[in-house]
Structure 1
Amino acid sequence: MGQNEAGPAPSDEVTMTSQEPQDPQESQEGAPATQDAVDRMIAEWAEVRPGLDVSSNQVVSRMLRLIRLFERDRERVLESVELEPWSFDMLALLRRRSLGAATPRDLMSATLVTSGTMTARLKSLESRGWVTRSPDTIDRRQVIVKLTTPGRELFDQVFADVLDCQNRLIACLDKGEREHLAGVFRMMLLNLED
């Protein structure tokens, strides 16, 4: 899973319960579970709507639950340095650029948010001293957003902990399984993204 640089967390299911995700390895006897919450959901649909094809939930609902588990873990890390998930994602976008800079349009395209939302986010980051906004020296109609030294230092401080969150999420997969899963997700994104 990548940087998860998107907007608000999705609701669970397609319609899952609002119950907090449980450890998928738990079972009543303490042994590793063989069925997860999605298996139970599919079984419930089969009972009340036996003719309804909900097979897509086998994939989509698991993706949503994994995202929730990761974001819950990541938020605990970010709260310790007073970062919101969206502000971490914005700093990450800038940090991985060779010059630590991008245009608002670049940032909007990467985060899939509206111009109004992006303007508000940039104002917030700028007020905290993490980014600057200035006219492009070549085209002064263009604004350049640049990561400041405090913004870079804050991001570097917390990034390793966020990577730990990601590694915990996929710890049960071996190298081959990770590469296969990444390939499947890549194919899905290529099919859906512009």
Structure 2
Amino acid sequence: MSRKTTERADDAVDAILRQWARERPDLDVSPMGPIGRLKRCAALLEQALAANFARLELSVWEFDMLATLRRAGAPYCLSPTELFSTLMVTSGTMTHRLKRLEERGWIERLPNPQDARSLLVRLSADGLARVERAVETHVEAERALLAGLSAEGLATLDAQLSRWMVALESRAAPDPDPDPGTEA
């Protein structure tokens, strides 16, 4: 049975692996390959996505907040705790971000009818219009970033990353900020 090998060009991680092989031939540094490539891909993806959002006069975190509210469905409203849990930021960061989005006119903070001590966060009409345009542009930008992969390769990559993410999440430490606060 012959094994089909895929030719590929060397990348920056290959050079690092060769250096380690030269300097520490006693050490198997092969785990550095996939982890280094994922880290480099993540950095390049963040750059490309940030540039796309900048064209829309949005930052990555602004899009994340608006998109989280939009994904919640009509009336596009969540508690700060629900936002906090989804976005994995500290309560202080959440408070600052909500204030910024409110100043830009993209969200509204409303009294919570179930709890008079807390507020709800809702997309404003301007925020909804902005995220509707942004999500379309975002999906096209992501499609372009994935264009170099075949459909089969992309499906395999997605499945493998999903399995790995589940494994990593099961090993993750508990949240260091268990009290996201109810006021934002």
TM-score by length of 1: 0.77
SS at match of 1:178: helix
Q: Shift of residue 130 of structure 1? A: 0.4
Once superposed, which parts of structure 1, at least 4 consecutive aligned residues long, lie more than 4 Å away? Answer: none
In the other structure, the counterpart of 2:27 is: 52
Letter in 1 for 2:165: L
In the other structure, the counterpart of 1:86 is: 61
In the other structure, the counterpart of 2:180 is: none
Percent of paired sites with the same residue: 36
In the other structure, the counterpart of 1:26 is: none
In the other structure, the counterpart of 2:98 is: 122
Is the Cα contact below 8 Å between 1:131 and 1:145 reproduced in 2?
yes
Report how many aligned residue pairs link the two structures: 163
SS at match of 1:82: coil
SS at match of 2:122: strand
Distance in 2 of aligned mates of 1:46 and 1:82: 45
In the other structure, the counterpart of 1:171 is: 147
Q: Which runs of 5+ in 1 are unaligned?
A: 1-31
Rg: which structure is higher?
Answer: 2
Q: Deviation string for 1:145-193 (max 9, x for gaps)?
A: 1111101111122222222221122112222222221111211222222
Residues 159 and 176 of structure 1: CA distance in aligned 2, closer, same or farther (over 3 Å): same
Distance in 1 of aligned mates of 2:152 and 2:49: 25
SS at match of 1:64: helix
What value does the CA root-mean-square deviation take over the aligned residues?
Answer: 1.8
TM-score by length of 2: 0.81
Of residues 55, 59, 67, the one that matches 2:42 is 67
